[in-house]
Amino acid sequence: MIKRFTFLLLIIVNLSGCITANFDNSTEFKENKKVSRVYVIVVGDKQSEDCLNYYKNFLIDSLKTNNIQVDGMYECCVNNKTDLNEYMHNLLSNKDFTSDHILTAVIKEVVVGHGTSSSRRLQLNLFDTTQKTSLWSGELFIMFSWFINDQHYRDVANKLNETTLTELRNKKII
């Protein structure tokens, strides 16, 4: 009886800490050279602010280790009533960018499930600032246990970062 209880408890603990992330769709990269300079902008909701700030920092650090000149910012807060097109237009037009490219990751959808589960859908876009064109876009979906503590924020942010970097490499963006 104790063995069964311990086994069930182990399964519940493992499932509650499960973090999955994947790209639902991702366009082809529309340029023949890899990105060398980029400005990263992450835009999130109030509940994800700490986690997405870590994501921005992890992504910037990872891009730097890939020999990419990078800077970035975190912008808060959007919600389900925010017109994302207008929000991003205002954000991008009020800043003077010196990078050749801008990579945006914006919360597109928030789903709080039953119990402790939650998910977020992020829209990622890569823009060429010199030609004023979109070079790539993708939707990143992540499901996780609701934020428990600061370490959990980091774990979710790390999974977002790893998944993003894998997709950027697969598309030959970096």
In a domain, 160, yes or no: yes
Residue 59 maps to a domain = yes
Domain presence at residue 11? no
pLDDT at 46 over 80: yes
Question: Per the domain annotation, does 15 fall within a domain?
Answer: no
133 located within any domain: yes
pLDDT band at 11 (very low <50, low <70, confident <90, very high): very low
Most confident of 24-33, 126-135, 165-174: 165-174
3-state helix, strand, coil in the chain (%, to 5): 40, 35, 30
Residues 6+ apart with CB under 8 A from 81: none
In a domain? residue 7: no
Instruction: Read off the pLDDT of each residue in 39-51 and give the average, rounded to a whole number.
Output: 91
CATH number at residue 95: 3.40.50
2 vs 80, residue with greater confidence: 80
Domain total of the chain: 1
Rounded CA separation 147/98 (Å): 35
Whether 3 is covered by a domain: the verdict is no
Q: What is the pTM of this model?
A: 0.85
Residue 124 phi, psi dihedral angles, 5° rounding: -110, 135
Q: Is residue 1 part of a domain?
A: no
Handedness of CA 106, 62, 152, 164 (dihedral sign): positive
For residue 133, give its domain range.
20-170
